Amino acid sequence: METEKERSYEDRTESFVSLPLDLTIDILLRLPAKSIGRLRCVSKLWLTMTTTSSFVKSFSVHSSARPSLIFCKNGEEKCVFYSFPHHHPRAEKYLHKEETGLPLSTITNENNYIPHQSIHGLISFGNFECVIIWNPTLKQHVTLPQPKVSKPFISLLGYDPIGDQYKVLCMSLRNKGEDPQIFTMGPRESWRTIIQDSPSHVILYKAIWRCINGVVYYLAARDTIVSFDVRSEKFGVIQIPNMGWRLRTLPCGFIRHRGRLALFSNTSSLLGRISLWILEDAEKHEWSRKDSYLPFVTRKGSITLSFFTLSGETVDDELIYIPMFAGGPFYAIYYDLERNRVRKVEYEGIGEIEFRSHCFPNHIESLMSLNNLFTAP
């Protein structure tokens, strides 16, 4: 005989299921990914509804409003990662630790020199001989088939927001005459050769790159920047601004600033000065410049900019600085360049910071499954 509690549960379930489909989907899109995972076990209807390409894409759009900072390191037996939001003043309460599912040596492999980014919820790792794609939300990873380019090679992950496609650009670091290859992530896909007069490839010792608004930018030879449009699969060359020095001589990198590519350099790390060159027009090679002294750097003390790593930026265009070494709790410094404001957020429970640990700012949750990536739909 049914108990009153069981009848009450069934009544509530039927009431929820009887909601209009569009309203049900709108409710589900507002939930965190973990809740979606549990609800997929409720019924085949909800499983089907939450695994459609339209739902996965819409979920990523909603997730972009609540980005997080992911910190990866090797644990005693497995790779682990911590995720915490950018904007909570007491973020240690929200600290979330999980196993990555990746092989132990993936994160801090001594041959893993290429900087990585979270690209629309996915992260790629490579050690010059293989390409691994990782989805932290679903704790899934997959090794892509071997590209037909000479080893060692470099792989860069890009995302086309219009076509909702992820693509991996792969280039040989040794044989500069080889055409690059591209892999579109999806069922029945394989590496394709891009046959054209491709520009100079990535500089090995300055592997600087960034994916912004569907375009992958990377630093190439002769102090030029190459752009690769993920959608059209076409290359372009951008001349760097007149900086008064060569890029290879000082620490530098790419970030996104107000939706555009920005080249940064710590032109005087002992003084805590940072310079940003923002790309205004790629076709005309036009740049603007912003200079600032970071308020959190002690110019006459022992704390200098050389002790921090500029890891990226938030959606609000705050620069995110991570200390290279920290004796106490792990922390991040967020600097608003426009308003000249600084905030420091501590995250307890991480432990010591390893030199080869990785931070991924602006990470969003993604429900894209990698389990059946190479099978027919």
Q: What is the pLDDT of residues 181-221, one digit of tens each?
A: 999 998 778 899 987 666 777 766 567 889 999 999 998 87
88-102, 279-293, 344-358: least confidently modelled range: 88-102
pLDDT at residue 243 is higher than 70:
yes
- The percent of residues in the chain predicted with pLDDT above 90, rounded, is 22
User: What are the strands, taking DSSP E only, across 187-302?
Assistant: 192-193, 209-212, 215-220, 224-229, 234-239, 252-257, 260-268, 273-281, 286-293
pLDDT at residue 44 is higher than 90: no
- Rounded to the nearest integer, the mean pLDDT of the chain is 78
Six token digits for residue 66: 């609540």
pTM of the predicted structure, to 2 decimals: 0.85
Domain 52-363 = CATH 2.60.40: no
**Listed range (157-171, 214-228, 283-297, 318-332) with the worst mean pLDDT:** 318-332
Residue 97 has pLDDT above 80, yes or no: no
Given a cut of 90, whether residue 175 has pLDDT beyond it is: no
On the question of pLDDT at 113 being above 60, the answer is: no
pLDDT of 280 reads 95
Residue 308 pLDDT class (50, 70, 90 cuts):
confident
- Residue with the two structure tokens 């549990």: 38
Checking 52-58 for CB contacts under 8 A at 24+ apart, the result is 53/164, 55/25, 55/28, 55/29, 55/367, 56/366, 56/367, 56/368, 57/164, 58/25, 58/29
Least confident of 17-21, 105-109, 224-228, 307-311: 105-109
**318-323 and 308-313 strand pairing:** antiparallel
